[in-house]
Amino acid sequence: MRTYATIQQAFDAYQAMPPDEKRRIKAIAREAWKGTSYSSGEDLESQARDTFLSGRRRWPMDIDFAHSFRTVLRSVANNDRKLARNRHDLNVRIDQDIFERERAAAELAMRAPSAEDVIDSLQQAAMWEAWAEKVRAKLRPHDEALFIFDAKRKEMARAEIIDCTGMDLQTYKSAWKQVARVCAKTPKPK
């Protein structure tokens, strides 16, 4: 079973490191900090030391302290690079999402009718509704024709109309011709 040093033992081992090993660690830190969010190799080394000496990473007693420290230093740098990539990927996804929402809003704004368009549409609808009422008044004495006219306005198909009313195909055709004649003779709105 592996034995780990206490925080005090790790601190003492750090203090006891020979100067040439400390220079080597500083040189590794200067190279390893590139591409991280740390401002310098010293900043990265300080973070690795804090990670190691705070107990967040433990020193296995059977491994040389300097080797363990270099490993922690590289690990801290690599973890920071991964976090930076994830932050970048997240920012890109958020930026793309914002762009898509803005583009959709712009498209909607371009398609959204103006107040004048809405008023014109409502006036057109009212004129066509008045025209339909005139046609209905002329078709009132003819039940089948009136039903077909109302059903067609609701976009019912011929088969649906025949099924609903029980009329045969010939009666339907005759009533449909009557609807067509009355619609043609009733002046349409402009």
pLDDT of 90 higher than 60: no
Q: Could you tell me if 81 and 35 are in contact, meaning their C-beta atoms sit under 8 angstroms apart?
A: yes
- Binned at pLDDT 50, 70 and 90, residue 108 comes out as low
pLDDT of residue 23: 92
Which percentage of the chain shows pLDDT scores above 90? 5
In a domain, 17, yes or no: yes
My answer on whether 37 and 89 are in the same domain is yes
Which percentage of the chain shows pLDDT scores above 70? 89
Radius of gyration, CA atoms only, the chain:
41
pLDDT tens-digit map of 166-184: 888 898 888 888 888 888 8
Give, to the nearest 10 degrees, the angle between helix 41-53 and helix 7-15. 140
pLDDT tens-digit map of 61-83: 888 888 988 888 888 888 888 87
Residue 87 belongs to domain spanning = 7-100
Q: Is 3 left (phi over 0), alpha (psi -120 to 50) or beta?
A: beta
> How many whole angstroms separate alpha carbon 145 and alpha carbon 149?
6
> How many whole angstroms separate alpha carbon 84 and alpha carbon 183?
71
β-bridge mates for residue 4, sequence order = 60
The residue from 73, 100, 127 where one domain ends is 100
